[in-house]
Structure 1
Amino acid sequence: MSDHETISEPTVDANLEAAPGASAAPASEPTPAPAAAPQPNFFLIGAPKCGTTALAQYLSEHAQVFFANPKEPFFFSDDYPILREVHQMETLEAYLKLYSAAQPHHRAIGEGSTNYLNSEVAIQNILAFNAEAKFLVMLRDPVEVAHAFHGTLVYSFNEDERNFEKAWHLQAARRAGRAIPKTCRAPQFLQYGDVARFGEQMERFLDLVPAPQRKIILFEDFVRNTRRSYCEVERFLGLDDDGRDKFPPVHGARTHRMAWLHKFFKRPPQKLAGPILSLRRAMNNRQRGLVPYLKSKLHVRQQRDKLRPGFEEELRRFFEDDVRRLESLLQWDLKHWITGKRSAKR
């Protein structure tokens, strides 16, 4: 991948004289300052369906990285309050507990809430929390993102219209508060056009975040040469290269083998919400043995339905102006996102 981003990489000495005739007081041992609580210093802020889960997984396995669990705590997006509530991230104290196990050798401590790029307030909130925070952004063809994101919402019970074309045409009604699924925790997600309108989102991002604190990756470059993209991220975060050369696929389009059981875990009765959330976190922490085996049996891979040609053309017309805006902001050639034709290798 071309290097689109250019990344730039008190001790008080008091000599006090004793007053004439006064004897010098014996020096006392200084009281060591308490160790500062670990805090995040980098954020993988989106966009959804652009490879963030895979990158987060790879980074979490680097010896010098501590990655939050859950990957997406949604703490800084005040405009998505229900998501914060679901993850019990309503206070800074609760949020910082995610990082309590980080150690001094962890140079990069981070999380990956992919709604931060789309949020109108998250980036400002992060910079108010840590003015030197580093940001990773991954971008992809918006038509592909909108289509894939719809599948994710269906899978997570935030969307009840399984046909993407029909769901796309429900956006106006849903913006007016109609036809919103009862199990949808973030109605903003149902605005597929807004979720994938990256020109608008990136203009806000570039205005707020200084160049040395940001790294932008194209999904197609990440897929084409994952090792190179990974090494660029290592350098950006100040990590030693761990020599990783295997990058197994992570996630992909899925459907439920037992939808009722998955829904019970994702949307438990209110009285069971706390214990179920604790159980889910424990399961996320278990990477070996019976737990991952059982989790793998709860869902199956599914091919995403192809878009009807006329509908795909409608989507490309919808995103065209925004893609041109993004081209201008980044000075990248993204015409293939407008035409739908794959770009040549760069």
Structure 2
Amino acid sequence: MPLPNFLIIGVQKAGSTSVYEYLKQHPQVYVSPRKETEFFSRDLSQIPEKKTTPGGRRRILTLEDYQSLFANVTDELAIGEASPNYMMAYRKAIPNIQKYVPDARLIAILRNPVERAYSDYLMHVRDAIGSPKSLGEQVKTKAESSHMLLKGRYYEQLSHYVDAFGWPQIKVFLYDDLRRDSTQMMREIYQFIGVERDFTADTQKRFQTAEVPKNQAVNRLLRTKNPIRSAVAGALRQVLPESVRQQLRLRLIAANSQDKSSQSLPEEDRQLLFDYYREDMLKLQDLIGRDLSNWLSDPAKR
């Protein structure tokens, strides 16, 4: 059974979902029907007993689970998947990739780490995941343990991939490339993974566009398990089928949502994040040979 010959290894909140969807359109490309398998970032010597994620999705825990994602491959030339946490999880992911798909082409899409962190923060707010501290507070109190912050330390992570696989096997893009000319970026990706370069995907649609709740208390009622939601669901269960109940809930969530532009990153937090990432950005600029001056523009001097 085939395994991938290319992987999107990073990073979250940098357009990987859009690229994943555009890759699906190419007739010579097969991508896993499931994004973010996280297979190679696991300890593959141990199989946890729990088989589902909190959202109810079956976890990809064994090689057989992983291979099953590619069971429908026919004559496609490029076979891949996208798990943008592989970059941050390089300590586990690199040896696993070397063992199972050592020749796979590796694609990283990087975004200004300050903007990436804020987008990640807003996602946690939107999905009512815990009660995240402000990014400024995270820099001050938990910089070395916050996944939200650590995901943006690109040089530290990518340099390990370069050492392990070499540049011919790795291609780095910027989120800025996707926004500026998505068609050209996809053509470069097609060429890198060995399929017809001149295929033109429909890149007009952007996926995973960020929204934030108008009222966080209402958002938590709609998105988390709580006595009020359970009571309402119990009452509605008597008169409405599950599909209608879910549609109603999604409409209520949509009514309580607004574009993320309504919520800007405080300037103090932006400066703290810039200072936190500055050295890593300078090293990354040299590593990938790209001009990152727009990332390196000090907020205090704008």
**What TM bracket, shorter-length normalisation?**
0.7 to 0.9
Structure 2 unmatched ranges of 5 or more = 231-242
Equivalent residue, structure 2, for 1:14: none
- 2:17 aligned with 1:60: no
Equivalent residue, structure 2, for 1:280: none
CA distance in 2, matches of 1:296, 1:316: 36
CA distance in 1, matches of 2:250, 2:24: 20
In the superposition, the TM-score normalised over structure 2's length comes to: 0.77
Instruction: Please report how far the alpha carbon of residue 53 of structure 1 lies from its aligned counterpart in structure 2 after TM superposition.
Output: 0.7
Contact 1:74 1:116 in 2 (8 A): yes
- 2:164 aligned with 1:193: no
Q: Percent identity?
A: 27
1:206 to 159, 162, 176: 162
Equivalent residue, structure 2, for 1:287: none
Contact 2:222 2:249 in 1 (8 A): no
Equivalent residue, structure 2, for 1:88: 59
Equivalent residue, structure 1, for 2:3: 39
Structure 1 unmatched ranges of 5 or more = 1-36, 176-189, 270-282, 284-289, 342-346
Q: Deviations over 1:185-243 (max 9, x none)?
A: xxxxx333311011111111111122222111111111101110011011111112323
Number of matched pairs: 266
Equivalent residue, structure 2, for 1:48: 12
CA distance in 2, matches of 1:38, 1:260: 44
Q: Deviations over 1:48-68 (max 9, x none)?
A: 111101000110122222211
- 2:78 aligned with 1:108: yes
Q: Deviations over 1:302-326 (max 9, x none)?
A: 3142122222112111111111111
Equivalent residue, structure 2, for 1:248: 205
Contact 1:320 1:338 in 2 (8 A): yes
CA distance in 2, matches of 1:340, 1:137: 25
CA distance in 2, matches of 1:84, 1:308: 40
**Amino acid of the structure 2 residue aligned with 1:53:** T
Contact 1:44 1:135 in 2 (8 A): yes
Equivalent residue, structure 2, for 1:97: 68
Instruction: Please report how far the alpha carbon of residue 244 of structure 1 lies from its aligned counterpart in structure 2 after TM superposition.
Output: 2.7
CA distance in 2, matches of 1:239, 1:296: 39
The DSSP-based 3-state class of the residue aligned with 2:185 is helix
Q: Deviations over 1:26-63 (max 9, x none)?
A: xxxxxxxxxxx122111001111111010001101222
In the superposition, the TM-score normalised over structure 1's length comes to: 0.68
* Cα distance change on mapping 1:79 and 1:142 into 2, 3 Å: farther
Instruction: Please report how far the alpha carbon of residue 340 of structure 1 lies from its aligned counterpart in structure 2 after TM superposition.
Output: 5.0
* Cα distance change on mapping 1:109 and 1:295 into 2, 3 Å: farther
More helix by share: 2
* Cα distance change on mapping 1:294 and 1:66 into 2, 3 Å: farther
CA RMSD between the two structures: 3.1
The DSSP-based 3-state class of the residue aligned with 1:45 is strand
Which aligned pairs between 1:1-346 and structure 2 lie closer than 5 A? 37-78=1-42, 86=53, 87-104=58-75, 106-119=76-89, 120-161=91-132, 163-171=134-142, 175=145, 190-240=146-196, 241-255=198-212, 259-260=220-221, 262-263=223-224, 297=251, 298-299=253-254, 300-304=257-261, 305-339=263-297
